[in-house]
Amino acid sequence: MRISERILNFLGERIARYLEQPSPGYEPFTPSDLGALVRALRPGDVLLIEGNSRVAGVIRYLTQSTWSHAALYVGDTLGKKTETGEAHVLVEVLLGEGAISAPLSKYAIFHTRICRPAGLTEHDRGKVVRYIIDRIGYEYDVKNIIDLLRFLVPLPVPQRWRRRLIALGSGVPTKTICSTLIAQAFESVRYPILPRIELIESRATRREILHIRHYSLYAPRDFDISPYFAIVKPTIEIGFDYRKLRWANLPLPPEPEREHAPRPLRAGGARAPLTGRNRAKSERETALPL
């Protein structure tokens, strides 16, 4: 490897490592219910994540959105598991790593949203999933420093330039950003996300022509605001009954029923036993489903 390539690699790795470090003080307002997510997700769904890294903060600013990261749910088709036996069910692209698979519990403590392509046929759903699975292992080329520097811009950026700044760069790096790879997967079956609409006016006809945007221009928020993706709320999807909420100003349920009450969340999404301090904390919650 030439000296110039070594220098670019070194600088690129340092920048990527800096950008992926978590921002201090992050605390999700509404962390995910892992059990509800597991039951609600279907292959082909796009999972949006709020994220807590430095690059996540930049993407949220540039896109004026809560969402900084996106992953595609592929179901239990990869045959890969963690050391604890949990299946890898997500495919995502990470800065400096490229396209990888991951378990769902990785984002249990983050604010998430499910975006489901409406009316997508099972055949095309399978093609979308296969498209992104086939690209696991694609690398993020950290030698393209210009592609990384767009995430280090500290100054205010005019609204009209922000999306272009996300797409800055060329070649392999731009093709392996989280939302752009997912956009390519849906583009492979001609499924729209946010197409540009051109209105044709004439005496004889009035018609709309849909122009598919270039995949490099897509950001995680586009799946959220797309008119072709349904927003799926896991707690509603699996069944919600407001009458079963437990409020702080009401007496606790009988002792046997407390075993089924929600527990305070530990890191990683696991719930702690309802004893001692955790019991007192649980009693102070404003509203929790039984």
CA-wise closest residue to 209 among 223, 224, 192: 192
Is residue 254 domain-shared with residue 168, that is, in the same domain? no
The C-alpha atoms of residue 193 and residue 186 are separated, in whole angstroms, by 8
Range of the domain at 267: 242-289
Contact 261, 274 (CB under 8 A): yes
Q: Which residues contact 254 (CB under 8 A, 6 or more apart)?
A: none
Q: What are phi and psi of 274, to 5 degrees?
A: -90, 75
Both 282 and 188 in one domain: the answer is: no
38, two tokens: 């597991």
Structural domain count of the chain: 2
Q: Is 12 found in the same domain as 88?
A: yes
Contact 92/70 with Cβ under 8 angstroms? Answer: yes
The CATH number of the domain holding residue 24 is 3.90.1720.10
Give the per-residue pLDDT at 40: 93
Instruction: Identify which has the larger pLDDT, 289 or 213.
Output: 213
Same domain for 146 and 254, yes or no, is: no
Q: How far, CA to CA in Å, does 196 sit from each of 64, 177, 214, 221? A: 20, 21, 10, 16
CA–CA gap between residue 65 and residue 232 (Å, rounded): 18
Q: What is the amino acid identity at position 247?
A: W
3-class secondary structure, 197: strand
Say yes or no: 220 and 199 in one domain: yes
- The crossing angle, in degrees rounded to 10, of helices 54-63 and 3-19 is 80
Q: What is the mean pLDDT of residues 194-206?
A: 71
Reading phi first (left if > 0) and then psi (alpha if -120 to 50, else beta), residue 75 is in left
Q: Look up residue 84 and give its two tokens.
A: 């604890």
Whether this model's pTM surpasses 0.95: no
Instruction: Report, as an integer, the average pLDDT of 70-81.
Output: 93
In this structure, the answer to whether residues 102 and 231 fall within a common structural domain is yes
Considering the domain architecture, whether residues 133 and 253 belong to the same structural domain is answered as no
pLDDT tens-digit readout, 61-72: 777 788 989 999
Q: Are residues 150 and 264 in the same domain?
A: no
Spatial contact of 133 and 74, defined as CB atoms under 8 Å apart? yes
Band (286; pLDDT cuts 50, 70, 90): very low
**Which stretches of 39-180 are assigned E, i.e. beta strand?**
46-49, 69-73, 88-94, 98-103, 112-117
Burial of 264: CB neighbours in 10 Å, binned 0-12, 13-18, 19+: middle
**pLDDT tens figures, 262-276:** 544 444 444 444 444
139-174: pLDDT as tens digits: 776 655 556 666 666 556 665 555 555 554 444 444
Same domain, yes or no, for 249 and 206?
no
Helix 54-63 vs helix 159-166: angle between axes, to the nearest 10 degrees?
130
Find the mean pLDDT for residues 187-204: 81
Tokens of 144: 């393209």
Whether residue 223 sits in one domain with residue 258 = no
> What percentage of the chain reaches a pLDDT higher than 70?
66
Domain boundary among 237, 255, 278: 237
Q: Comparing 72-76, 161-165, 191-195, 207-211, which segment has the lowest mean pLDDT?
A: 161-165
Is residue 188 domain-shared with residue 255, that is, in the same domain?
no
Question: Which of 216, 237, 258 corresponds to the end of one domain?
Answer: 237
For residue 271, what pLDDT is reported?
44
**How far is residue 69 CA from its own chain's centroid?**
4
Q: How many residues does the chain have?
A: 290
In this structure, the answer to whether residues 270 and 134 fall within a common structural domain is no
